[in-house]
């Protein structure tokens, strides 16, 4: 409900024709003419699902922005809805394969033009913003591992079609050792026809962090812009990013990331009042949060850059010179994860700023699972995260380590990164928390933390806290002493929580996990002198079932099944 869907009439109405659009119009007329000509040639052939693919097969040169029928599938960012029941068995197989290989609906994507139009989703105030006359140019680096053809090339064309040519130095496609055939020779041939686009390839699977470093090493633009390989840049996405960097190279900036639906490829976006900024939880996962008041209060206009404690990681621009000074990325990080928080902390702690730019919009396909292979036998996300915690988080790293009972494992050598931090003379993590993210819940303020063990049986309160487990009853499980799903904190206002999930009781049999609301009520608990856990609202106590498997709420009686040991209790 935070997302807008296309309302093209209103947008058309809002739209003023300025110089650039006039230029586009002229280009479009020329492109139309070429396409009409081609249509005359193609009349004899059956209609192709994807005219771009057809053109590729015919090995024709591509005009940068060909005419696309406004009624074609997905135009204007609209949804492509496929009735699977109407597909032939062959098509059904294609459909399923597409989902299986990509974790999004490739079949739908293949029906959409590589040049599809998107609505102009900028707030009207964006058009009044002025940028410096001379903006830096940018290299756009897109790393991919086994990306779908139509999705990758739509990313590329959306960059070319919607970036002022003088600001787009080049597009660097970094192939992280894909094995899909279309990403080999066919991609080389296709890209050879596009100005400014080149492909570089890793010699083995490196993961997205080292792939980005390879892109960095060949880039020549003044600014580096990283994008995931399944994005679509909306009208006017680039200028606001470069404009902000032109003011000060230490501004690291990200666009507003809209959602391209994984099933219908519908493009949705956020208007200024719906924008979220980046946060993190103590398991070092990235998350979104509403713009905090201490950030909002300092903004003069709703289209001002919005300071963000962290970034999602995939879509951002940074001065190439500044990226170099800052120490680029940690090359010891593998495959996926951690690099976004590492760079976020580093930017803030070492003198830069991280902002989301409300006038810059780029869509990204958010997926529900990762379709590609990871390393076997290593938890790479954990390893990457420990590397960043060791280097940047000072004593705060322990809150993360508590989550897995300090079972660090082998995280490699971080001496170089520690030296970097020293060389850059960066602030402490404590400074970061107090100055950039002051409303962060710091577990050190917790009254108690760790596992909650029943006295009656060696069983602990256990639940995975994520969207899938919200509302589900919390249960008991044999204590495993590894933190994880048995790690809980008692906050000063009586919440028993992990990250944003709180134990919540509203009567009846079970306790559930519910998003923390900070309003006490059903989420207020007391860990009392007699080691009972008391729910003030209902005046009941937590109790395990006789077999120790279930967690229930009963009238307080002081029986062993109501006695709990919390791993750590802070002295009161």
Binding site for ligand LR7 (CB under 6 A): 143-145, 147, 176, 207-208, 211, 228-229, 257, 312-315, 335-337, 339-340, 364, 370
Q: Which is nearer to Mn ion, 228 or 402 (CB)?
A: 228
Q: How far apart are CA 140 and CA 283, in angstroms?
A: 31
- DSSP bridge pairs for 470: 513
Q: How far apart are CA 63 and CA 280, in angstroms?
A: 43
Confirm if 477 and 458 have CB atoms less than 8 A apart.
no
Q: Which is nearer to ligand LR7, 258 or 501 (CB)?
A: 258
Q: Which is nearer to Mn ion, 327 or 337 (CB)?
A: 337
Which entry of ligand LR7, Mn ion, none binds 221, CB below 5 to 8 A by partner kind? none
Q: Which backbone phi and psi does 527 adopt, to 5 degrees?
A: -95, 105
Q: How far apart are CA 141 and CA 119, in angstroms?
A: 24
Q: Which is nearer to ligand LR7, 38 or 210 (CB)?
A: 210
Q: Which is nearer to ligand LR7, 200 or 433 (CB)?
A: 200
Shortest gap between Cβ of 144 and ligand LR7 (angstroms)?
Answer: 4
223-227 and 138-144 beta bridge pairing: parallel
What SS3 state is found at 350?
coil
Shortest gap between Cβ of 143 and Mn ion (angstroms)?
Answer: 10
Q: Which backbone phi and psi does 533 adopt, to 5 degrees?
A: -115, 110
Q: Which is nearer to ligand LR7, 177 or 477 (CB)?
A: 177
Give the distance between the most distant pair of CA atoms in the chain.
87
Q: Which is nearer to ligand LR7, 367 or 517 (CB)?
A: 367
Neighbours of 509 (CB within 10 A): 11
Shortest gap between Cβ of 314 and Mn ion (angstroms)?
Answer: 5
Which entry of Mn ion, ligand LR7, none binds 136, CB below 5 to 8 A by partner kind? none
Q: How far apart are CA 174 and CA 171, in angstroms?
A: 10
**75 counts as binding Mn ion under rule CB under 5 A:** no
Shortest gap between Cβ of 268 and ligand LR7 (angstroms)?
Answer: 13
Q: Which is nearer to ligand LR7, 312 or 511 (CB)?
A: 312
Record the tokens describing residue 137, joined without a space: 């140019």
Record the tokens describing residue 384, joined without a space: 């990457």
Which entry of ligand LR7, Mn ion, none binds 211, CB below 5 to 8 A by partner kind? ligand LR7
Confirm if 555 and 533 have CB atoms less than 8 A apart.
no
What SS3 state is found at 134?
coil
Shortest gap between Cβ of 174 and ligand LR7 (angstroms)?
Answer: 7
User: What is the DSSP annotation of 489-514?
Assistant: EE-TTS-EEETTEEEE--SSS--EEE
Which residues have C-beta within 8 Å of that of residue 39, sequence separation ≥ 6? none
Shortest gap between Cβ of 210 and ligand LR7 (angstroms)?
Answer: 9
Shortest gap between Cβ of 365 and Mn ion (angstroms)?
Answer: 7
Shortest gap between Cβ of 378 and ligand LR7 (angstroms)?
Answer: 13
Shortest gap between Cβ of 363 and ligand LR7 (angstroms)?
Answer: 10
User: What is the DSSP annotation of 497-560?
Assistant: EETTEEEE--SSS--EEEE--S--GGG-EEE-TTS-EEETTTTEEEEE-TTS-BEEEEE----G
In angstroms, the first-to-last Cα distance of the chain is: 43
Q: Which is nearer to ligand LR7, 437 or 566 (CB)?
A: 437
Confirm if 131 and 243 have CB atoms less than 8 A apart.
yes
Q: Which is nearer to ligand LR7, 144 or 237 (CB)?
A: 144
Which entry of ligand LR7, Mn ion, none binds 306, CB below 5 to 8 A by partner kind? none
For 139, 144, 146, the CA distances from 218, given in Å and listed in that order, are 10, 16, 21
Rounded to 10°, the helix 149-161/185-192 angle is 20
Shortest gap between Cβ of 196 and ligand LR7 (angstroms)?
Answer: 19
Q: Give the residue at shortest CB distance from Mn ion.
A: 228
Which entry of Mn ion, ligand LR7, none binds 144, CB below 5 to 8 A by partner kind? ligand LR7
Q: How far apart are CA 62 and CA 154, in angstroms?
A: 13
Shortest gap between Cβ of 179 and Mn ion (angstroms)?
Answer: 19
Site string for Mn ion, 205-244 (x = CB under 5 A): -----------------------x----------------
Which entry of ligand LR7, Mn ion, none binds 215, CB below 5 to 8 A by partner kind? none
For 303, 451, 544, the CA distances from 512, given in Å and listed in that order, are 39, 17, 14
- DSSP bridge pairs for 502: 497, 514
Shortest gap between Cβ of 207 and ligand LR7 (angstroms)?
Answer: 4
Shortest gap between Cβ of 229 and Mn ion (angstroms)?
Answer: 7
Q: Which is nearer to ligand LR7, 371 or 484 (CB)?
A: 371
Q: Which is nearer to Mn ion, 155 or 486 (CB)?
A: 155
Rama region for 508: left / alpha / beta (φ>0; ψ in -120 to 50; rest): left
- For residue 207, give the DSSP letter: B
Record the tokens describing residue 85, joined without a space: 């029941």
Which entry of ligand LR7, Mn ion, none binds 304, CB below 5 to 8 A by partner kind? none
- DSSP bridge pairs for 256: 361
Exposure string of 543-558, with b = 16+ CB inside 10 Å and e = fewer, is: bbbeebebbbbeebee
Q: Which is nearer to Mn ion, 262 or 330 (CB)?
A: 262
Residues that bind Mn ion (CB under 5 A): 228
């Amino acid at each position: 409900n935070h997302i807008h869907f296309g309302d093209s009439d209103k947008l058309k109405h809002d739209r003023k024709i300025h110089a650039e659009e006039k230029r586009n119009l002229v280009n479009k007329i020329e492109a139309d003419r070429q396409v009409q000509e081609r249509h005359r040639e193609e009349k004899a052939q059956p209609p192709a699902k994807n005219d771009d693919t057809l053109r590729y097969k015919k090995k024709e040169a591509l005009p940068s922005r060909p005419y696309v029928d406004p009624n074609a599938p997905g135009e204007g960012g609209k949804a492509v809805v496929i009735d699977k029941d109407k597909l032939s068995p062959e098509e059904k197989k294609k459909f399923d394969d597409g989902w299986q290989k990509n974790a999004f609906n490739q079949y739908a994507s293949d029906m959409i033009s590589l040049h599809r139009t998107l609505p102009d989703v900028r707030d009207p105030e964006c058009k009044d913003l002025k940028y410096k006359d001379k903006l830096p140019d940018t290299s756009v680096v897109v790393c991919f591992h086994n990306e779908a053809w139509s999705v990758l090339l739509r990313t590329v064309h959306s960059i070319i079609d919607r970036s002022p040519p003088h600001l787009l130095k080049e597009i660097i496609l970094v192939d992280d050792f894909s094995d899909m055939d279309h990403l080999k020779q066919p991609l080389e041939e296709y890209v050879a026809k596009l100005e400014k686009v080149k492909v570089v390839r890793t010699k083995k699977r490196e993961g997205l962090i080292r792939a980005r470093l390879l892109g960095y090493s060949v880039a020549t633009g003044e600014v580096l812009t990283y994008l995931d390989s399944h994005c679509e840049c909306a009208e006017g996405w680039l200028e606001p990013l470069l404009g902000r960097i032109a003011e000060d190279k230490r501004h690291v900036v990200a666009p507003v990331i809209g959602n391209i639906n994984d099933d219908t490829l519908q493009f949705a976006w956020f208007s200024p009042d719906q924008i979220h900024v980046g946060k993190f939880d103590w398991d070092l996962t990235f998350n979104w949060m509403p713009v905090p008041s201490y950030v909002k209060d300092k903004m003069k206009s709703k289209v001002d850059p919005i300071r963000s404690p962290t970034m999602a990681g995939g879509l951002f621009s940074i001065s190439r010179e500044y990226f170099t000074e800052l120490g680029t990325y940690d090359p010891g990080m593998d495959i996926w994860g951690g690099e976004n928080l590492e760079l976020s902390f580093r930017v803030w702690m070492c003198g830069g700023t991280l902002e989301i730019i409300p006038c810059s919009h780029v869509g990204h396909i958010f997926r529900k699972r990762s379709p590609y292979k990871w390393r076997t036998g290593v938890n790479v996300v954990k390893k990457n995260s420990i590397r960043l915690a060791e280097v940047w988080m000072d004593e705060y790293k322990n809150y993360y380590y508590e989550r897995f009972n300090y079972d660090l494992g082998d995280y490699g050598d971080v001496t170089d990164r520690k030296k970097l931090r020293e060389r850059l003379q960066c602030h402490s993590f404590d400074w970061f928390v107090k100055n950039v993210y002051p409303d962060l819940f710091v577990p050190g303020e917790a009254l108690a933390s760790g596992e909650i063990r029943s006295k009656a049986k060696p069983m602990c309160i256990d639940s995975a806290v994520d969207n899938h487990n919200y509302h589900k009853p919390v249960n008991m499980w044999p204590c495993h002493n590894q933190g994880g799903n048995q790690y809980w904190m008692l906050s000063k206002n009586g919440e028993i929580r992990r990250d944003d999930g709180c134990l919540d009781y509203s009567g009846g049999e079970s306790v559930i996990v519910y998003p923390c609301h900070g309003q006490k009520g059903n989420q207020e608990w007391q860990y009392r002198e007699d080691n009972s856990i008391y729910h003030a609202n209902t005046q009941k106590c937590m109790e395990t079932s006789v077999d120790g498997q279930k967690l229930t709420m009963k009238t307080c009686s002081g029986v062993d099944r109501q006695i709990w040991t919390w791993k750590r209790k802070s002295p009161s």
